[in-house]
Structure 1
Amino acid sequence: MRYERIRPGRFLDRPNRFIAHVEVDGTVQVCHVKNTGRCKELLRPGATVYVEGAAPGSARKTQFDLVAVEKGPLLINLDSQAPNRAAGEFLRAGGLFGPPALVRPETKWGTSRFDFYVEAGGQKIFVEVKGVTLEQDGLALFPDAPTQRGVRHLEELAACLQQGYRAAALFVIQMKGVRAFAPNEETHPAFAAALRSARDAGVALYAMDCRVQPDCMELDAPVPILL
């Protein structure tokens, strides 16, 4: 998963969840933030960030997208679309389930819509992907804000099992260097409870870290899950 026209910048402020002011090449630019989460622990004044320039001739109102930030020794991808893009590449390459016969994104089942439907090894599998950008003391945590939508996704994955499908939740940790992943019990205890219930029902849980560069991100290695 690769970006074009990447440039470093210095984060200044974030007037709202959609835009940020970033100093790029000595000029203050209004940048689109590709993550509507809070990210308060990441987007601090003076932080080194990386932005992707718009395509030449673009009529966009903002000419840059903010896609990554440095947090101490960590380089963290902030793009909320990146986990699905990287997970799609990983699944198509045979990650998690072996060489697939089919990988289909955004697949509807009943009243639900899951990130991926995979057929591999004679099995039919629904996969829901969650991007993780919150890190505390080497622990990757999700969510960074309460998410009833996330709870619903876990419940719906468990429901798929009753009709013979496999189901999996894949947490894509958008950085390298964490020791483990855990649900953010303090921020949303209901999500932590739903994750444990999904595990007990038979939903497969995966957490993968990523190799991150300013201009790319790819899934790399499994990370222990602490429930």
Structure 2
Amino acid sequence: MLFHNPLRQAVLIKRYKRFLADVKLENGDIITVHCPNTGAMTGCAEPSMRVWLSDSANPKRKYRYTWELVEDFAGHLICVNTHRANQIAGEALDHNLLAPLQGVQNLRAEQKYGYDNRRIDWFGIDSQQRHTFIEVKSVTLATHNQGYFPDTVSKRALEHLRSLQDMVTDGHRALVLYTVLHSGIEQVSAADHIDPKYADACRAAREVGVEFYALGCKLTPTGISPLRELPVLM
């Protein structure tokens, strides 16, 4: 995934109201930008961190710029735009970068499924002709090289797990794909210390056949590339 236009560099002043951030541009101007992340963004939104912004080039948009990347104080690059996770996961699936998912065909994004008619991030048919439901999660929370999901209590993530379990019970294939958008993360775990209900639900889901994988990526200010599978520890 390449950014369509060169990203603009700035320094973070503060993030607030979840979807907004004030930044200082290299020319000294202070502007408000869109922050496309509903999580706590722990370790990703400290004042004075260097950030990169994409330009919508739409002067009529209320917030012309979108916050894409941040460099933490350890020098790691992090993508805070959670919408990028699905796009990068799709590239990895298309290029068969994850061995357990090689052979999944007819991939379609944002398909309705389940008894409550919710949307799955990716749907396909595997080599055994099973319907395959792929829920993508963005991972940015890190302690040293250990990544965690979620970074705040997430009722929505819990509901997604239950829907995936329903799919497995119905004879389909279902999995969670953690897309790691932090250059320092080498493995991923459910965040017991933040959302123990989600962590317990992950272990229960794995017992009934829901699969868990993680995708490591290369992050640069010009683009983000899916690289390789990372371990998932439960």
TM-score, normalisation: structure 1: 0.94
Q: Which runs of 5+ in 2 are unaligned?
A: none
Moved more, 148-157 or 215-224: 215-224
1:208 aligned partner: 215
Stretches (4+) displaced over 6 A = none
Q: Which runs of 5+ in 1 are unaligned?
A: none
* 8 Å CA contact retained: 1:92, 1:99: no
Task: State the SS of the aligned residue for 2:224.
Answer: strand
Match of 1:119 among 114, 117, 125: 125
1:189 aligns with 2:196: yes
* 8 Å CA contact retained: 1:127, 1:170: yes
1:36 aligns with 2:43: no
Task: State the SS of the aligned residue for 1:151.
Answer: helix
* 8 Å CA contact retained: 2:42, 2:141: no
2:75 aligned partner: 73
Quick one: distance in 1 between partners of 2:183 and 2:19? 26
1:101 aligns with 2:105: yes
CA deviation after TM superposition for structure 1 residue 216, in Å: 1.4
Quick one: distance in 2 between partners of 1:89 and 1:146? 29
Q: Aligned-residue CA RMSD in angstroms? A: 1.4
Aligned residues: 226
* 8 Å CA contact retained: 2:186, 2:216: no
* 8 Å CA contact retained: 1:68, 1:76: yes
1:176 aligned partner: 183
CA deviation after TM superposition for structure 1 residue 7, in Å: 1.2
- What letter corresponds to residue 108 of structure 1 in structure 2? K
Moved more, 187-196 or 64-73: 64-73
CA deviation after TM superposition for structure 1 residue 137, in Å: 1.9
2:61 aligned partner: 60
Quick one: distance in 2 between partners of 1:95 and 1:124? 20
Moved more, 72-81 or 95-104: 95-104
Percent identical pairs in the alignment equals 29
